């Protein structure tokens, strides 16, 4: 075993700068700590970032997607098409509003929903499409909206991982239908927990505001009324201030992530891992925001399991993660009739993927150490070379 005195490198590490920490202290001392001026400012700066489209902030990416489905009028009897290769919340919110999730397998290269399979999944009950941009790599957005228009479908983009990503020079979120993002601690822009929805018009934004807080209309205490069933989804001003600090650094965050991804590709080139058949992500430095760097292990060529592989990484002080097991194989979804073999590409990727460390505070030396570790393990446990 390699002797190493390096500190443990987590696969992701949120970084809150000093200016933001001071800003949070100011909010805490201001006397207004829940949804208020910071939330308004956060929404205003998000809207500016997304080309002036209306934006409302919420306390999670999950509830943001659920509210988007409600705004799109998705409910009982409707089908929503999405991918099984995502965080489980994407499908859970479809169930939450009473609709039925319909899965389409992934393209094994992009690891996103295969748009060539999408049209076959559309039925008269299909109401919306819910694409996911895994690791911040968008799908072919032209094709996606072409299909949506042709079949008169709403699109709820699960762009949770895609803040800072773009498509042909246009920011994800600055165009399209309803675009949902997440500010969970591990996302490129974070408010610790939180989310935001980019919408088409002020009517949708007003509806979002109502769904966010008990359906209350704006009429003051005497004339208070509630006219839709809303929930409790508002973002605190403390969280909004954290989000503002993070959003204001988005350009440098994305640039740094792209640099680190490039270093990964360079370091992997010609090494034992690649020779053994380790799958690398699509080399896309124009559109992707490099939310994650996910490899796919060639398990047939390795004499250890993924869990053992990850334990080997940990012994070398390298953290890693799994994003994600194919969600149709979770008990909840098996109970709804899904099983092995239905989405083979998602299943294979879900069973073999490992997320390597990638966050702006990492050094080039960290990347070199990660790749050296992966190469070493492949060298030691690989066959078929
Ligand atoms: C993070 C994430 C979500 C959910 O966001 P939360 O803020 O954790 O609720 C949904 N979909 C994807 C693809 C995500 O990565």
**Residue-number span of the structural domain to which 307 is assigned:** 250-381
Distance 182 CA to ligand 1 centre (A): 6
Can you give the pLDDT at residue 384? 66
Judgement on whether residues 370 and 295 belong to the same structural domain of the protein:
yes
Judgement on whether residues 173 and 320 belong to the same structural domain of the protein:
no
Q: Is residue 2 in a domain?
A: no
Ligand 1 and 61: CB distance under 6 A: yes
Judgement on whether residues 53 and 83 belong to the same structural domain of the protein:
yes
Q: How far apart are CA 119 and CA 125, in angstroms?
A: 13
Judgement on whether residues 240 and 270 belong to the same structural domain of the protein:
no
Judgement on whether residues 232 and 294 belong to the same structural domain of the protein:
no
pLDDT, one tens digit for every residue, the chain (385 residues): 455 579 999 999 999 999 999 999 999 999 999 999 999 999 999 999 999 999 999 999 999 999 999 999 999 999 999 999 999 999 999 999 999 999 999 999 999 999 999 999 999 999 999 999 999 999 999 999 999 999 999 999 999 999 999 999 999 999 999 999 999 999 999 999 999 999 999 999 999 999 999 999 877 778 889 999 999 999 999 999 999 999 999 999 999 999 999 999 999 999 999 999 999 999 999 999 999 999 999 999 999 999 999 999 999 999 999 999 999 999 999 999 999 999 999 999 999 999 999 999 999 999 999 999 999 999 999 986 4
Q: How far apart are CA 106 and CA 227, in angstroms?
A: 40
Which atom of ligand 1 is found nearest the CA of 65? 10
Helix (H, G, I), strand (E, B) or coil at 174: coil
Question: What's the CATH code of the domain at 25?
Answer: 3.40.640.10
Judgement on whether residues 215 and 282 belong to the same structural domain of the protein:
no
Which residue, of 208, 228, 247, is where some domain finishes?
A: 247
Give me the number of domains the chain comprises: 2
User: Pairing mode, if any, of strands 293-296 and 353-356?
Assistant: antiparallel
Judgement on whether residues 291 and 224 belong to the same structural domain of the protein:
no
Question: What's the CATH code of the domain at 335?
Answer: 3.90.1150.10
Distance 88 CA to ligand 1 centre (A): 8
Judgement on whether residues 257 and 376 belong to the same structural domain of the protein:
yes
- The answer to whether the CB of 64 falls within 8 A of the CB of 182 is yes
Judgement on whether residues 235 and 157 belong to the same structural domain of the protein:
yes
Q: How far apart are CA 65 and CA 82, in angstroms?
A: 13
Q: How far apart are CA 178 and CA 198, in angstroms?
A: 6
Judgement on whether residues 173 and 293 belong to the same structural domain of the protein:
no
Rg (CA), the chain: 22
Which residue, of 222, 247, 272, is where some domain finishes?
A: 247
Judgement on whether residues 303 and 223 belong to the same structural domain of the protein:
no
- The answer to whether the CB of 367 falls within 8 A of the CB of 264 is yes
Give the residue numbers marked as catalytic.
187
Q: Is residue 9 in a domain?
A: no
User: Pairing mode, if any, of strands 178-182 and 154-158?
Assistant: parallel
Distance 90 CA to ligand 1 centre (A): 7
Ligand 1 and 190: CB distance under 6 A: no
Q: How far apart are CA 263 and CA 280, in angstroms?
A: 13
Can you give the pLDDT at residue 2? 53
Q: Is residue 12 in a domain?
A: no
Q: Is residue 106 in a domain?
A: yes
Q: How far apart are CA 351 and CA 385, in angstroms?
A: 22
Ligand 1 and 195: CB distance under 6 A: yes
Phi then psi for 113, rounded to 5 degrees?
A: -45, 130
Which residue, of 186, 212, 247, is where some domain finishes?
A: 247
Ligand 1 and 323: CB distance under 6 A: no
Can you give the pLDDT at residue 218? 75
- The answer to whether the CB of 23 falls within 8 A of the CB of 371 is no
Can you give the pLDDT at residue 285? 95
Distance 382 CA to ligand 1 centre (A): 34
Can you give the pLDDT at residue 223? 84
Q: Is residue 3 in a domain?
A: no
Q: Is residue 7 in a domain?
A: no
**Ramachandran category for residue 10: left, alpha or beta (phi over 0 → left; psi -120 to 50 → alpha):** beta
Which atom of ligand 1 is found nearest the CA of 89? 10
- The answer to whether the CB of 268 falls within 8 A of the CB of 274 is yes
Judgement on whether residues 35 and 98 belong to the same structural domain of the protein:
yes
H/E stretch holding 142 reads helix 141-150
Ligand 1 and 158: CB distance under 6 A: yes
Tell me whether the omega of the peptide bond preceding residue 295 falls within 30 degrees of 0, making it cis.
no
Can you give the pLDDT at residue 317? 97
């Amino acid at each position: 075993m390699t002797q190493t005195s390096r500190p443990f490198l987590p696969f992701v590490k949120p970084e809150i700068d000093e200016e933001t920490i001071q800003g949070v202290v100011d909010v805490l001392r201001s006397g207004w700590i829940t949804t208020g001026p910071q939330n308004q400012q956060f929404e205003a700066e998000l809207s500016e970032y997304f080309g002036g489209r209306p934006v409302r902030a919420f306390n999670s990416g999950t509830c943001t997607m659920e509210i988007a489905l409600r705004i799109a009028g998705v409910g009982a009897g409707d089908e929503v098409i999405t991918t099984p290769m995502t965080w489980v919340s994407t499908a859970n919110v479809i169930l939450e509003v009473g609709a039925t999730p319909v899965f389409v397998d992934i393209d094994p290269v992009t690891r996103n929903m295969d748009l060539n399979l999408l049209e076959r999944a559309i039925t008269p009950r299909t109401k919306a499409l819910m694409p996911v941009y895994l690791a911040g790599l968008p799908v072919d957005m032209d094709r996606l909206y072409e299909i949506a228009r042709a079949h008169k479908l709403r699109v709820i983009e699960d762009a949770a991982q895609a803040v800072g990503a773009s498509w042909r020079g246009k920011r994800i979120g600055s165009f399209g239908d309803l675009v949902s993002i997440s500010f969970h601690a591990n996302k490129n822009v974070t408010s610790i927990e939180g989310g935001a929805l980019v919408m088409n018009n002020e009517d949708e934004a007003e509806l979002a505001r109502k769904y966010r807080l008990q359906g209350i209309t704006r009429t003051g205490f005497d004339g208070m009324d509630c006219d839709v069933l809303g929930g409790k989804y508002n973002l605190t001003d403390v969280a909004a201030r954290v989000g503002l600090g993070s959003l204001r650094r988005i350009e440098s965050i994305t640039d740094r992530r792209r640099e680190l991804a490039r270093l990964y590709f360079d370091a992997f080139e010609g090494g034992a891992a690649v020779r053994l058949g380790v799958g690398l992500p699509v080399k896309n430095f124009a559109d992707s925001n490099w939310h994650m760097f996910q490899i796919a292990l060639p398990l047939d060529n390795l004499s250890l399991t993924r869990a053992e592989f990850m334990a080997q990484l940990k012994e070398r002080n390298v953290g890693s993660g799994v994003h994600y097991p194919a969600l149709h194989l979770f008990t909840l979804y098996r109970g709804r009739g899904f099983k092995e073999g239905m989405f083979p590409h998602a299943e294979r990727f879900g069973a073999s993927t490992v997320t390597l460390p990638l966050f702006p505070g990492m050094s080039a030396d960290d990347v070199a150490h990660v790749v050296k570790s992966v190469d070493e393990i492949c060298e030691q446990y690989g066959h078929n070379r």
